[in-house]
Chains A and B, each alone.
Chain A
Amino acid sequence: MRKLMLGNEAVARGLYEGGCGFVSSYPGTPSTEITEYAAKYPEIYAEWAPNEKVALEAAIGASTAGMRAFCGMKHVGLNVAADPLFIGAYIGVGGGLVIGVADDPGMHSSQNEQDSRHYAIAAKLPMLEPSNSDECLRFTKAAFELSERFDTPVILRLSTRISHSQSIVELSERENVPLVPYEKLPAKRVMMPAYARPRHTVVEERLSELREYAESCPFNRIIPAEGTGKPKLGIVTSGPSYNYAREVLGDSAAYLVIGMPNPLPERLIRKFAEMVERVVVIEELDPIIETHIKSLGIPCDGKNIFPLTGEYSQGLVAEKLLVKKNEYAKLTEELPGRPPVLCPGCPHRGVFYTFKKMKLTVFGDIGCYTLGAAQPLSAMDTTFCMGASISALHGFLKAMPDYASRTVAVIGDSTFLHSGVTGLMNITYNRTPATVVIVDNNITGMTGHQDNPATGKTLKGEDVTPVSLEKICEGAGVSPSHIRVVPASDTAAFEAALREELASPEPSVIIARQPCALLKTVKRGDPVTVDTGKCKGCRACMAVACPCISMTDGKAQIDAALCTGCGLCAGLCRFGAID
């Protein structure tokens, strides 16, 4: 059957067809839907883990038990999971183990650009990289075979354009893969020095075998140019870049498409270089293929023409290689931008309004609430990586204790469980008078509503006992009298709690709790309206950056179709004009 499928959906289909039985992941754009789609197959056990390290270790456990297993994450997730990744190379697999990692060139939804191929090189693991949905499906299945054949985890590298593009796939049946019988093999799985030393030799030997395999791997393929004679241009490329090159150059160039970016072949590249007059490497982010080709003594162009930053496109390839730009029209006037905003009724809004009002220094974190950094709230000083709000606040206050009374960390429920807890232990253990605000909207919002250990539901939809944030904080050493739970909608109570805890020399946590306004279980209130007779046009209500409020003829106006009736703006009106 032919079907249009998202790259991520096709990976999930590959997991299904490839006989995968276990999936553990942590969400992250653009990788999230792989696991969501995988969970729809009753044959696959699929779960959200609290973070990527836990997820990968769980997948390693399932593989050790002999089951084909998968773990998915975004590029920065692999930083978190790097420890088990590197050891995975040493211990090899039982059932095939595939690690899906999605890079985000162009940072559509990320805090940095990072090329995951470095991890494959550093951990000495084979990596496959598809360039469309059909390859997503086929490469995923092949990755399991490769994993078992070479006794190694295999990384499947995706990127935003592959994960989030739909193209046509051909479906087949699920393969029935029995468990690989479990054996006690301490020399292979107990990684203490005496056992690990010989395993390092195994890793190096395996890598040479994989290098040899790369020469004939069906995913590294030469596509000759049309016509006779030596083609002027030979393009070495992979993943999304192949599509852009193909669009611009068609059959006029020859291609070496690298479907296995680690380890890279040598003879195949030499053969290709001899076939063409000029070699140009087109790869997004870092010059991995280019550096390899140059190390073989073969001259080529690459990052001297193409950028190290951002996402590529056919327009870029045409501009850089053919010095060709399309004609286009443009309005002469400057158009206002449309940045993302906190949704109407978002429980984070009042929290950030309060931070701004109190002129606090705010150590932020990653999630929907990062939008509290945007104008006009502009209430965030830092956002580094997940969990860093709490841990960095600790260091900041050790260096500048005076700031304790006017500095907070703010972190979401999912992010707190991901990697905030450890930072909190550092605060209590090493005694910083820090105040941490957990904005608990009872869901992993940013990535599109995934459950987490505190929501009381699993990925498969079962009800479970939710992890208690307050009890975790207590267990981590925060005194119960300094763990405050307030409804996020009650800004007065939140502000009062914040003032008290900032003044106190004890470590404290304020949980601002209210479910995400977009959750299906949350009832929308009646929209508020403006009494234009009372409205003085003072714009005080606009300070909360709500997309529902605008000014028409000097009076505030509220979009009834968008307003959820949260009432935050009404509380700010000194003239009682909003009700």
Chain B
Amino acid sequence: MDKTQTFSIMIVGVGGQGSLLASRIIGDVFLAQGYDVKVSEVHGMSQRGGSVVTYVRFGENVASPVICEGEADIILSFEQLEAARWLPSLKPGGKIITATQRINPMPVIAGTAKYPENLIEKLKAQGASVIAVDAAALAERAGNIKAANVVLIGVLSKLFGINRDVWLSALKDNVPQKYIDVNIAAFELGEKAAQTAA
């Protein structure tokens, strides 16, 4: 990878899905690889089940911690509608890794809006390259549905030629001791899913 170019990963999802943990793991991986890294997080109001965006950027020298329209090399999405919402941030030719999970937002629950259908096809039709994974099912198989974020990190890890031990050690540094095994299992299922999806 060209270190002089800043690489941008956007993590999107619904408050409570674990995007902070994901951004910290990814940030630590690239820090360990000797990159300059900036991560921008969301706390407070938007965490209450709202749409949540976190940015991870790395390169030789990263100035801004945020990602604007047309700048994300990768969008890592924990939920379909959120992937669609943040599509404008994707760089032309960029990749979307998304969980196939659907979480109804309040306007849909309240019946004032409809959850859009066939979002993954629609994203592809816009020229995005999309890897869609049933992360929740894989996380459940790993032992805890909450580890869906780590399944997706497993998928993401396959896009970089970085030794998997670096990913595993960042994972270990960021998850509580008692959840390590579940998270490693989730990560591995994500790695496997990347191979079949690619």
Interface size class of B (residues with CB under 8 A): 35 or more
Set of chain B residues within 8 Å of A546, measured between Cβ atoms: 109
Q: Is the CB of A371 within 8 A of B48?
A: yes
**Residue in chain B with minimal CB distance to A246:** B63
The complex places the Cα of A247 from the Cα of B59 at a distance, in Å, of 12
Residues in chain A within 8 A of chain B (CB atoms) = 2, 4, 6, 29-30, 32-33, 108-109, 132, 161, 164-168, 243-244, 246-247, 313-316, 325-331, 333, 335-343, 368, 371, 374-376, 446-448, 539, 542, 545-547, 549-551, 561
CA of A401 to CA of B91, assembled, Å: 59
CB <8 Å contact, B49 and A547? yes
The reply on B168 being an interface residue by CB < 8 A is no
Which of chain B's residues have a CB closer than 8 A to the CB of A551? 111
Do the beta carbons of B66 and A161 come within 8 Å of each other? Answer: yes
Q: Are B115 and A336 in contact (CB under 8 A)?
A: yes
| Chain A residues in 8 Å Cβ range of B27 | 4, 166
Q: Within 8 Å CB of B38, what residues of A?
A: 132, 165-167
Q: A331-B87, A336-B115, A547-B106 are in contact. Are A313 and B44 (CB under 8 A)?
A: no
Q: A164-B43, A165-B38, A338-B81 are in contact. Are A4 and B31 (CB under 8 A)?
A: yes
Complex A-B, nearest 9 residue pairs according to Cβ-Cβ distance, in ascending order: A326-B70, A315-B68, A109-B44, A29-B44, A340-B50, A336-B113, A340-B48, A338-B105, A328-B70
Q: Which of B122-130, B157-165, B180-188, B189-197 contacts A (4 or more CB under 8 A)?
A: B122-130
Chain A residues with CB under 8 Å of B126's CB are 329-331
Nearest CB of A to B111, in Å: 7
Q: What's the Cα separation between A466 and B68 when bound, in Å? A: 47
Shortest CB–CB separation between residue B97 and chain A, in angstroms? 16
Q: How many A-B contacts if CB must be within 8 Å?
A: 187
Please determine whether A164 and B64 come into contact, CB atoms closer than 8 angstroms. Answer: no
Contact of A550 (CB < 8 Å), options: B37, B51, B104: B104
Residues of A within 8 A of B2 (CB): none
Q: For the complex, give the distance between the alpha carbons of A247 and B6 in Å.
A: 10
Known contacts: A326-B69, A330-B126, A335-B85. The answer to whether A165 contacts B105 by CB under 8 A is no
Known: A165-B39, A328-B90, A328-B92. A108 touches B44 (CB 8 A): yes
In the docked arrangement, what's the CA distance between A551 and B44, Å?
Answer: 29
Q: What distance in Å separates the Cβ of B71 from its nearest Cβ neighbour in chain A? A: 6
> B18 near A: Cβ within 8 Å?
no
Check: B21 CB closer than 8 A to any chain A CB.
Answer: no
Which single residue of chain B is at the shortest CB-CB distance from A33? Answer: B43
Measured between beta carbons, the chain B residues less than 8 angstroms from A337 are 51, 105, 107, 113
| Cα separation A114 to B118 with both chains bound (whole Å) | 42
A342 and B82 contacting across the interface, CB-CB below 8 Å: no
Q: Are B109 and A338 in contact (CB under 8 A)?
A: no
B108 within 8 A of A: yes
Q: B116 contacts the other chain (Cβ, under 8 Å)? A: yes
Q: Knowing that A108-B42, A328-B91 are A-B contacts, what are 8 other residue pairs whose CB atoms are under 8 Å apart, sorted by A's residue number?
A: A4-B27, A29-B44, A33-B43, A108-B46, A326-B69, A327-B92, A328-B88, A336-B81
Question: Measured between C-beta atoms, what is the minimum distance from B77 to chain A in Å?
Answer: 13
**Among candidates B41, B66, B92, residue contacting A329 with C-beta atoms closer than 8 Å:** B92
Judged by a CB distance under 8 angstroms, whether B166 is at the interface is no
- Complex: A246 Cα to B20 Cα, angstroms: 26
* Residue B22 interfacial (CB < 8 Å): no
B36 contacts chain A at the CB level, 8 A cutoff: yes
Beyond A338-B51, A547-B109, whether A167 also contacts B65 by CB under 8 A is yes
- Beyond A314-B66, A341-B48, A343-B48, is A168–B106 a contact (Cβ under 8 Å)? no
The answer to whether B28 has its CB under 8 Å from any CB of chain A is: yes
Give min CB distance, A459 to chain B, whole Å: 18
0/1 string, B51-95, CB within 8 A of A gives 1: 100000000001111101111000000000110110111111000
Q: How far is the CA of A314 from the CA of B6 in the complex (A)?
A: 13
The reply to whether B37 and A448 contact each other, CB–CB distance below 8 Å, is: no
A237: min CB distance to chain B, Å: 12
